[in-house]
């Protein structure tokens, strides 16, 4: 390694230069010019790092990863009604495409079957319009929404309903007032990373709201390996080692509407290539790059990935070995309407309860499960504002106002559901929270003796 600095300006000795001639040589050789899977068609360039596939094989490989994730985690059953979160990027474009294809196949089987016993799952699409947060010009957002409408309507049949929802709808107020409140909330967070993360929490709130109000029972996100790898590192850096495993599993049922991540095993470049190969249209926004911790992490992971193409997979695999939570599985169905085969499959692949952590307290803001140390720190500040006390240390640091006197104002602009969660902590569950803290303290003192 003669040079590995991002600031390196020398052209000689860089490993990238050294590698170039090798790869061009290998593509010349006869052996390499066929798809590694079917050994028949010509591969498309740059399709994959673990082999060079032809277009068909590349596609079926990627769809295969999606399907395996769906079936082995019982993400979709025939009676489900899925809401696909569509941001316009290539990951969510691919997940929409794959869900659509799966639905088409189910429809075909349904039409062909005599008794028509298996219904076809429903699919809806939602786009959360965040222009109020990012101050995107309205002409740009209008054009994007038009594009999204045409993408979704071109997918039919079966027809999919599209819900375009502004992020400020989380305040359940009229749009103008909501925008104002959103701005006030954003301005009350001083930390750049905290601002970004707050938007993430609000986005999830908005998605949950759309799903819940429109009768969906699953929320499908297009998060891919690359994004999850970044999340692993950012969560580690923010001190969220305890709650991290909750966020990176195939299934996350801590929310009212369970969230599923069927592209967890797909890399961002693969998804980009598929969009390119299949002409799947994506919608870009000029949101600007991440700043703060999130931006630093994504450029760090990008650097690592360039240096070793399997790095992101390794990161996700490592984090995958951390013990997940009890809610990281689709709740078991005892409904007799569900076919036996489906139930059996669920039982076989789902997480065993003994391998997971059960957690009863969540941060009202980011909804992370609270660790023992978070609970313990609660006990030391019981006179402090209850929401502040009951949230995780990361939110306390990067989102909450530093000055206690501005706390009341901050709370007053929070969306209702977040406040409700906090109040739930403080009223209904307060005694149980207190009991948990007591238990922690007790076991702590036992450890010491």
Partner 1 sequence: MEEAVTKPTKKGGGRLCCICNQRRAALKRPKTLEQICRECFYEVFEEEIHQVIVDNQLFKPGERIAIGASGGKDSTVLACVLAELNRRHNYGLDLFLLSVDEGITGYRDDSLETVKRNEVQYGLPLKIVSYKDLYGWTMDEIVKMIGLKNNCTFCGVFRRQALDRGASLLKVDKVATGHNADDIAETVLLNILRGDIARLSRCTSIVTGEDGPIPRCKPFKYTYEKEIMFTYAYFKRLDYFSTECIYSPNAYRGFAREFIKDLERIRPRAILDIIKSGEDFRISTSTKMPEQGTCERCGYISSQKWCKACVLLEGLNRGLPKMGIGRSSRGLNNDPKKDKDIKQSNGTKSIENKQCGSLDF
Partner 2 sequence: MQLTLEFGGGLELLCESVKIHKVNVDPPNGTEKFIMKDLLSWVRTNLIKERPEMFMKEDSVRPGVLVLVNDCDWELSGQLDTTLEDKDVVVFISTLHGG
Tell whether residue 375 is a contact of partner 1 (CB under 8 A). no
Contact 203, 130 (CB under 8 A): yes
Neighbour-count burial for 192-208, b at 16+ CB within 10 Å, e otherwise: ebbbbbbbebbbbbbbb
Piece in contact with partner 1 (CB under 8 A), picked from 128-136, 251-259, 308-316, 437-445: 308-316
Piece in contact with partner 2 (CB under 8 A), picked from 4-12, 68-76, 281-289, 300-308: 4-12
Residue 224: which of partner 1, partner 2, none does it interact with, CB under 5 to 8 A by kind? none
Piece in contact with partner 1 (CB under 8 A), picked from 66-74, 218-226, 247-255, 309-317: 309-317
CB atoms within 10 A of CB 342: 17
**C-beta closer to partner 1: residue 36 or 357:** 357
Contact 297, 289 (CB under 8 A): no
User: How far is residue 357 CA from its own chain's centroid?
Assistant: 20
Task: Name the token pair of 284.
Answer: 């870009």
- Taking each helix axis from N to C end, the angle separating 225-237 and 268-278, rounded to the nearest 10 degrees, works out to 150
Question: 3-class SS at 84?
Answer: strand
**C-beta closer to partner 1: residue 169 or 356:** 356
**C-beta closer to partner 1: residue 212 or 393:** 393
Spatial separation of the C-alpha atoms in residues 161 and 149, rounded to whole Å:
10
To partner 1, the closest distance from the beta carbon of 424 in angstroms equals 24
User: 259-260 and 218-220 as β-strands: parallel, antiparallel, unpaired?
Assistant: parallel
Task: Name the token pair of 411.
Answer: 């709370």
Spatial separation of the C-alpha atoms in residues 357 and 241, rounded to whole Å:
14
Spatial separation of the C-alpha atoms in residues 206 and 126, rounded to whole Å:
10
**C-beta closer to partner 2: residue 4 or 26:** 4
Tell whether residue 443 is a contact of partner 1 (CB under 8 A). no
> Which of 315, 386, 390, 395 lies at the binding interface for partner 1 (CB under 8 A)?
315
Spatial separation of the C-alpha atoms in residues 371 and 361, rounded to whole Å:
8
> Which of 161, 323, 380, 412 lies at the binding interface for partner 1 (CB under 8 A)?
323
To partner 1, the closest distance from the beta carbon of 296 in angstroms equals 6
- 212: which residues sit within 8 A by CB, 6+ positions away? 256, 257
**C-beta closer to partner 1: residue 3 or 411:** 3
Residue 417: which of partner 1, partner 2, none does it interact with, CB under 5 to 8 A by kind? none
Residue 304: which of partner 2, partner 1, none does it interact with, CB under 5 to 8 A by kind? partner 1
Tell whether residue 192 is a contact of partner 1 (CB under 8 A). yes
Spatial separation of the C-alpha atoms in residues 300 and 41, rounded to whole Å:
37
Contact 284, 88 (CB under 8 A): yes
**C-beta closer to partner 2: residue 2 or 442:** 2
DSSP code at position 391: S
Ramachandran bin of 393, using left for φ above 0, alpha for ψ from -120 to 50, beta for the remaining angles? alpha
- The length of the chain in residues reads 449
**C-beta closer to partner 2: residue 2 or 38:** 2
Tell whether residue 66 is a contact of partner 1 (CB under 8 A). no
**C-beta closer to partner 1: residue 101 or 191:** 191
**C-beta closer to partner 2: residue 4 or 382:** 4
Spatial separation of the C-alpha atoms in residues 364 and 369, rounded to whole Å:
10
To partner 2, the closest distance from the beta carbon of 301 in angstroms equals 18
**C-beta closer to partner 2: residue 4 or 287:** 4
Binding track, positions 121-140, relative to partner 1; x by CB under 8 A: --------------------
**C-beta closer to partner 2: residue 233 or 259:** 233
| 218-220: strand order across its sheet | 161-166, 122-129, 81-85, 218-220, 259-260, 251-252
CA 197 to each of CA 191, 230, 397, 403: distance values in angstroms, whole numbers, following the listed order: 10, 13, 12, 20
To partner 1, the closest distance from the beta carbon of 317 in angstroms equals 6
Spatial separation of the C-alpha atoms in residues 94 and 124, rounded to whole Å:
15
Binding track, positions 7-26, relative to partner 2; x by CB under 8 A: xx------------------
Residue 371: which of partner 2, partner 1, none does it interact with, CB under 5 to 8 A by kind? partner 1
Question: 3-class SS at 214?
Answer: coil
To partner 2, the closest distance from the beta carbon of 13 in angstroms equals 13
Tell whether residue 5 is a contact of partner 2 (CB under 8 A). yes
Which residues would be at the binding site for partner 2 (CB under 8 A)?
5, 7-8
Which residues would be at the binding site for partner 1 (CB under 8 A)?
1-4, 190-193, 232-233, 235-242, 244-245, 292-293, 296, 300, 303-304, 307-308, 311, 314-315, 317-319, 321-323, 355, 357, 371, 373, 393-394, 397, 402
């Amino acid at each position: 390694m003669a040079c590995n600095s991002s600031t390196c300006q020398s052209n000689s000795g860089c490993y990238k230069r050294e590698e170039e001639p090798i790869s061009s040589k290998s593509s010349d050789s006869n052996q390499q010019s066929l798809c590694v899977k079917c050994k028949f068609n010509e591969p498309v360039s740059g399709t994959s790092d673990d082999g060079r596939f032809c277009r068909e094989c590349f596609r079926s490989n990627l769809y295969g990863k999606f399907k395996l994730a769906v079936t082995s985690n019982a993400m979709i059953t025939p009676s489900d009604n899925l809401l696909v979160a569509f941001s316009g990027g290539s990951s969510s474009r691919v997940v929409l495409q794959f869900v659509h294809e799966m639905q088409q196949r189910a429809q075909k089987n349904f039409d062909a079957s005599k008794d028509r016993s298996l219904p076809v799952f429903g699919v809806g699409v939602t786009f959360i319009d965040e222009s109020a947060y990012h101050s995107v010009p309205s002409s740009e957002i209008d054009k994007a929404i038009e594009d999204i409408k045409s993408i979704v309507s071109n997918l039919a049949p079966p027809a999919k309903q599209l819900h375009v929802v502004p992020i400020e709808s989380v305040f359940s107020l009229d749009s103008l007032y909501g925008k104002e409140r959103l701005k006030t909330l954003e301005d009350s967070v001083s930390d750049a990373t905290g601002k970004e993360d707050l938007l993430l929490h609000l986005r999830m709130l908005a998605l949950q709201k759309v799903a819940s109000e429109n009768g969906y029972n699953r929320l499908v996100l297009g998060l891919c390996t690359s994004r999850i790898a970044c999340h692993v590192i950012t969560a580690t850096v923010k001190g969220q080692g305890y709650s991290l495993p909750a966020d990176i599993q195939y299934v996350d049922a801590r929310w009212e509407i369970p969230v599923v991540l069927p592209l967890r095993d797909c890399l961002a470049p693969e998804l980009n290539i598929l969009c390119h190969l299949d002409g799947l249209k994506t919608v870009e926004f000029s949101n600007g790059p991440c700043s703060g911790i999130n931006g630093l992490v994504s450029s760090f992971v990008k650097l690592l990935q360039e240096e070793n193409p399997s790095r992101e997979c390794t990161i996700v695999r490592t984090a995958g070995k951390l013990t997940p939570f009890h809610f990281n599985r689709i709740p078991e169905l005892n409904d007799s309407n569900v076919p036996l085969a489906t139930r059996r499959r669920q039982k076989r692949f789902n997480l065993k309860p003994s391998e997971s952590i059960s957690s009863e307290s969540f941060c009202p803001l980011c909804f992370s499960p609270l660790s023992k140390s978070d609970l313990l720190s609660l006990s030391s500040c019981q006179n402090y504002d209850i929401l502040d006390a009951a949230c995780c240390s990361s939110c306390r640091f990067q989102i909450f106002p530093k000055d206690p006197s501005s706390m009341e104002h901050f709370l007053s602009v929070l969306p209702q559901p977040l406040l409700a969660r906090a109040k739930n902590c403080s009223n209904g569950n307060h005694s149980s929270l207190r009991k948990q803290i007591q238990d922690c303290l007790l076991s702590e003192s036992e450890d010491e003796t």
